[in-house]
Amino acid sequence: MAMKYLETMMTDSVLRAQHHYYGHAANITGAPERDLLGEGEADFIGARDSFYLSTVSETGWPYVQHRGGPKGFLRLLNPSTLIFADYQGNRQLLSTGNLSVDDRVSLFLMDYPNRARLKILGHARVEDARLHTDLAAQLANPGMKARVERIVFIDVVSFDWNCPKYITPRYSLEEVEELVGPLKARIAELEAQLSMTKA
């Protein structure tokens, strides 16, 4: 278990709530300065085609944004750094503005078919893609019409895996096609045999 995540999130108010409802509170001690992402986390992140990014505005309001792309668009530079391309969009720049005053982020990555989720805490910085043209080209999705405007770097503090309880399995069109492909092939084969028998 990544202890830095629990130490960071279990504030005094959280501990008071635990004590109120359960009569005791978690006592997290000895957490490292940060928890590095391992091979399991790297594989999970590399297989995701979307995630949710939470930032905090200067007025204290949380803001959650969905990010999507081809599998692996959120990349590990190393065990403590994530990176992704940010494209020209609706020009609101809410996350970008929030990160200019408070660099703390929380990422939520879901694997609905396998009922798994990974939460990541970190500090993010946004850099103009024009200052990193080679990197922007490496990160760009060839299928996107919009251009890469920014590159987001996330310095990972810690992470936590959640239990699968209450995660409803959901499947992408690609995943459904993969599952039903053999059934479609078998149906076509049986229909062909039936046609030959009737003939």
pLDDT in tens, 129-152: 999 999 998 898 887 778 899 999
Domain spans of the chain, in order of start: 1-33, 34-168, 171-199
Q: Are 81 and 154 in contact (CB under 8 A)?
A: yes
Angle formed at CA 5 by CA 168 and CA 100, multiple of 5 degrees: 95
164 confidence band (pLDDT: 50, 70, 90)? confident
Q: Which residue has the tokens 């959280």?
A: 14
Q: Which residues contact 168 (CB under 8 A, 6 or more apart)?
A: 112
Of 31-40, 136-145, 183-192, the range with the lowest mean pLDDT is 136-145
Structure confidence at residue 40 (pLDDT)? 96
* Token pair recorded at residue 132: 């990193």
Q: Which residues contact 172 (CB under 8 A, 6 or more apart)?
A: 49
Average pLDDT, the chain: 93
Q: Are 75 and 84 in contact (CB under 8 A)?
A: yes
Q: Are 158 and 185 in contact (CB under 8 A)?
A: no
Q: What does the pLDDT average to over 123-133?
A: 95
CA distances from 74 to 15, 22, 107, 113, 149 (A): 33, 38, 11, 19, 16
Query: With respect to CATH, is domain 34-168 assigned 2.30.110.10?
Result: yes
Structure confidence at residue 1 (pLDDT)? 63
Nearest residue to 108 (alpha-carbon basis) of 57, 164, 52:
52
